[in-house]
Amino acid sequence: MGFTVISGPRDAGPGEREVMFEKANRVFAAAGITDHQRIDVPGRGASEETEGQLRESVQGIVPALQSGSLFGDADGVLVVDAQNLLKAEAEVIGELVMAADPDAVTAVFAAAGAIPAPLGATLRKHGETESVKKYRERDASRWLAEAASERKVKIDPGAVAVLLRRFGSDVAALGQALDQLAAGGTTITEEDVLGRYSNRPDEPMWLLSDAIIAGDEGEALRRLADFLEHGHPLVVLAYLEGEVRRRSLAAIAPDRETYAGWVGQSPASFPVRKVWERRSSTRAESLRRSLDALARADLQIKSAPEPTHRVTLERLTVAMCKWLGE
């Protein structure tokens, strides 16, 4: 029991976040906790800073840290995106952490980036920290080899190369793909992967995201339907989540150069200019709702039967058109 920080990179994608959640679940399992409350911290906006107050979505952590007793049957708390806490919230929660009984409370703070002061320093002093690094292609390649071994299947080098081209370093999507491919036999070949996850080169994903940002439901649904004829739903989710997270970073960056540094691109590059020029047209609440919906869709696709995946993505697309449409 006690406090644990799962620290990920600022630009954590679906893969890194999946690893962060796996580490959090291991913390709860080690403490004998079978259920926990999840609190998602919304993005920060300049107009949201308050004095000594907690936003409604964050208030659930107060009773958890004060008594160790959570709502319903939950007996642990996971705070997701703790880097988004406002200064006043970090101060209040920091005081609660110092006053809490670590034997009665199990709280995990997952953060893509630094947790605001003074809470960050308090957690480092009174708790444990586990780090998740940014996954690169070579890391994902090693992960695939280990994951295939765990599933008792052999994966050919050509199959690894194709999976990395399709899913990049997103180990969440790679794991889902590996589970599906492993069901077909003991060896996964390049032909197996191409047969299931081939994408059309003439349909770049940004055509879908552009339609969503424009609020054009009809065009967005047409682009989605065409992609799903040739690609996998998790590829769509990974791309859209990356797009929304880039826009979330642009919304809080003080200038274009800072934003470009955060996403690892040149300030003069077209992708950076494209997102930066549109940053004022998207509200923080719309970005938060989109990220929440993407997380729910990800869970639905990974747990529900395959025939339901298209409907899940169509509903997500329509909702994001309404929230993000200019």
pLDDT tens-place string over residues 84-143: 999 999 999 999 999 988 888 899 999 998 999 999 999 999 999 999 988 777 888 888
How many distinct structural domains can be found in the chain? Answer: 3
- pLDDT for residue 91: 93
Task: With respect to residue 197, please indicate whether it lies within any of the assigned structural domains.
Answer: no
Give the position of tokens 């280990």: 146
Considering 57-61, 92-96, 134-138, 282-286, the range whose residues carry the highest mean pLDDT is 92-96
Structural domain harbouring 294: 206-324
In a shared domain, residues 150 and 120: no
Ranges of H-type helices in the chain: 14-30, 61-67, 87-99, 119-126, 137-150, 157-167, 171-182, 190-197, 206-213, 217-228, 233-252, 256-263, 270-277, 284-303, 309-324
Domain termination residue (choose one: 88, 106, 131) = 131
> Region 284-301: what's the mean pLDDT?
90
In a shared domain, residues 180 and 223: no
The mean pLDDT of the chain is 84
> Region 5-16: what's the mean pLDDT?
84
Token pair recorded at residue 266: 């040149």
Confidence of residue 71 (pLDDT cuts 50, 70, 90): very low
- pLDDT for residue 326: 63
In a shared domain, residues 107 and 174: no
- pLDDT for residue 44: 65
In a shared domain, residues 15 and 124: yes
Q: How far apart are CA 49 and CA 162, in angstroms?
A: 46
Residue 202, pLDDT above cutoff 70:
no
Task: With respect to residue 312, please indicate whether it lies within any of the assigned structural domains.
Answer: yes
Residue 224, pLDDT above cutoff 50:
yes
> Region 251-255: what's the mean pLDDT?
89
**How far, in Å, are 190, 248, 252, 291 from residue 245 at the CA level?**
32, 5, 11, 8
In a shared domain, residues 318 and 218: yes
- pLDDT for residue 74: 45
> Region 272-295: what's the mean pLDDT?
87
Task: With respect to residue 171, please indicate whether it lies within any of the assigned structural domains.
Answer: yes
- pLDDT for residue 294: 93
Give the H or E element holding residue 170.
Answer: none
Confidence of residue 68 (pLDDT cuts 50, 70, 90): low
In a shared domain, residues 182 and 227: no
Task: With respect to residue 109, please indicate whether it lies within any of the assigned structural domains.
Answer: yes
| pTM for the predicted model, two decimal places | 0.56
Task: With respect to residue 198, please indicate whether it lies within any of the assigned structural domains.
Answer: no
Q: Is the peptide bond before 9 cis (omega within 30 degrees of 0)?
A: no
In a shared domain, residues 156 and 87: no
Q: How far apart are CA 121 and CA 97, in angstroms?
A: 11
Confidence of residue 48 (pLDDT cuts 50, 70, 90): low
Considering 136-140, 213-217, 314-318, the range whose residues carry the highest mean pLDDT is 314-318
